Amino acid sequence: MLHQYSYASLDFKYHPTSHLESFLQEVHKNYSSITHLYSIGKSVEGRELLVIAIGENPKKHRIGIPEVKYIGNIHGNEPIGREVLLHLIDYLVTNYGYNPNITQLMSSVRIHILPAMNPDGFENATVGRCTGTLGRYNSNQMDLNRNFPDPFGKSIAPLEPETEAVIRWIHSEPFVLSASLHGGAIVAAYPYDVNNQATGNNYSRSPDDDIFKYLAKIYSFNHKTMYKGNLCKMKFLDGVTNGAKWYTIAGGMQDYNYVWGQCYELTIELSCCKYPSASKLLHLWEQNRVSLILFIKQVHLGLKGRVLDEKGNPVSKAIVNIFGRSNLVPFQTNYLGEYYRLLVPGEYMLKIEAEGFNSLDKTVDVFDNISQYSAAVYDFVLQRAK
């Protein structure tokens, strides 16, 4: 159980950009050995898009340590995620070294948190507005969750600065697991957000539908009420939904992460009211705290490892094919030869392929390794083709 937690340095109110920035700088100053504060770019109006990375080696990726990220406030008038993420940061840094669950988690992953993806929109939003779009868009009146390239080529708008910054960020690290926090419902949604039909809200199944459903249920069933699935006058069985089944959206950040970033991203809706009174923030934090932590831990589900040549050098751009899962863009190894594949327990047939090498077939058993804080490690050595 995750017992001890602290509200040490952060009150439960909405923090304007200047206060949010000061809080992040304060955390980095007080916990400099386990945090790294960086910007991924600027909003239309020039506000920094600040990210704090938290872990035992906060500045740099380490082989075998998966990267996880949380994003808040892509819609400026949905700031609960922005605030809940500030409390998550406070919780992680104040419990590291004291709470063994948190200490082990932070030794096994690096967590990147972008509390405010749309700071300009937030400045235009109004507290107490539970519906509507005032403050939803960026300063160019673009819905950032409609601005990403989408798997079926339906979204064609030019990229906004916030979108470009996040796309660069997605490709800058081997992110494996991610969640974008919204408001306006209480549900965990998973890819695809967009379907391939001309009209209609139909289930749009991805090759990794089973693991996405599993991840969504982990969040939902560890949330105080989400799993009931009957909140906000909406019905979602088990508190989860396929995005397109709810309603199809082209250009969502979630699908981009999965298709082109090899990162399993979910969209988590935290409250019926998009921008509730600040008096609700403590309750909303306590409703989501356990889910937010356990969701990160799921990054240790499945397989990870490296593809190497006979001399032990990393083979980048190798493809670790999993029989029955043909991704729109095949997952490739990174410059270190690393791959990470989230999988539910079971037996899987793999085919490892790389240009200039003989392919390799392997059948592996995946167990629920989460309590070990590491996915099952399988390294593969490829022989150069003669």
Q: Which residues bind ligand GEM (CB under 6 A)?
A: 75, 78, 145, 182, 184, 189, 193, 243-244, 246-247, 249, 267, 269
Rank residues 108 and 195 by Cβ distance to ligand GEM and give the closer one.
Answer: 195
Which of ligand GEM, Zn ion, none lies near 266, with the C-beta cut-off 5 to 8 A by kind?
Answer: none
**Are 329 and 150 a contacting pair, CB within 8 Å?**
no
Is the CB of residue 305 less than 8 Å from the CB of residue 362? no
Determine contact, residues 240/190, Cβ cutoff 8 Å. Answer: yes
Partner that binds at residue 243, options ligand GEM, Zn ion, none, CB closer than 5 to 8 Å by kind = ligand GEM
- Least distance to ligand GEM from the beta carbon of 73, Å? 11
271 binds, among Zn ion, ligand GEM, none (CB under 5 to 8 A by kind): none
Where on the chain is the footprint of Zn ion (CB under 5 A)?
75, 78, 182
Q: Which residues contact 57 (CB under 8 A, 6 or more apart)?
A: 65, 110
Q: Is the dihedral of CA 25, 31, 33, 36 positive or negative?
A: negative
Nearest distance from residue 141's CB to Zn ion, in Å? 15
**Which of the choices ligand GEM, Zn ion, none does residue 265 contact, using the CB cut-off of 5 to 8 A by kind?**
none
Residue nearest to ligand GEM (CB): 243
| C-alpha to C-alpha distances, 2 to 105, 179, 305, nearest whole angstrom | 12, 20, 29
249 binds, among Zn ion, ligand GEM, none (CB under 5 to 8 A by kind): ligand GEM
Query: Judged by CB, which is closer to ligand GEM: 203, or 323?
Result: 203
51 binds, among Zn ion, ligand GEM, none (CB under 5 to 8 A by kind): none
Residue number, 78 or 90, with CB nearest to ligand GEM: 78
Q: Which is nearer to Zn ion, 182 or 297 (CB)?
A: 182
Q: How near is the Cβ of 232 to Zn ion at its closest, in Å?
A: 13
Of residues 320, 306, 310, 377, the one with CA closest to residue 354 = 320
- Name the residue nearer to ligand GEM (CB basis): 90 or 193: 193
**Residue among 57 and 201 whose Cβ is closer to ligand GEM:** 201
Closest approach of Cβ 261 to ligand GEM, in Å?
17
Using alpha carbons, list the distances in angstroms from residue 313 to 251, 310, 348, 359, 381: 38, 7, 26, 16, 9
Is 347 one of the annotated active-site residues of the chain? no
Minimum CB distance to ligand GEM smaller for 249 or for 318: 249
**Of the listed 162, 265, 269, 338, which one is catalytic?**
269
150 binds, among Zn ion, ligand GEM, none (CB under 5 to 8 A by kind): none
By C-alpha distance, which of 347, 344, 362, 349 is closest to 298? 344
CB nearer to Zn ion: pick between 61 and 75: 75
CB of 74 to ligand GEM, least distance (A): 8
Q: Min. distance of Cβ 15 from ligand GEM in angstroms?
A: 21
What is the smallest separation between the CB atom of 299 and ligand GEM, expressed in angstroms?
A: 21
Q: Closest separation between CB of residue 185 and ligand GEM, Å? A: 7
Cα 110-115-119 angle, rounded to 5 deg: 145
Contact of residue 50 among ligand GEM, Zn ion, none (CB under 5-8 Å per partner type): none
Q: Indicate which residues carry an active-site annotation.
A: 269
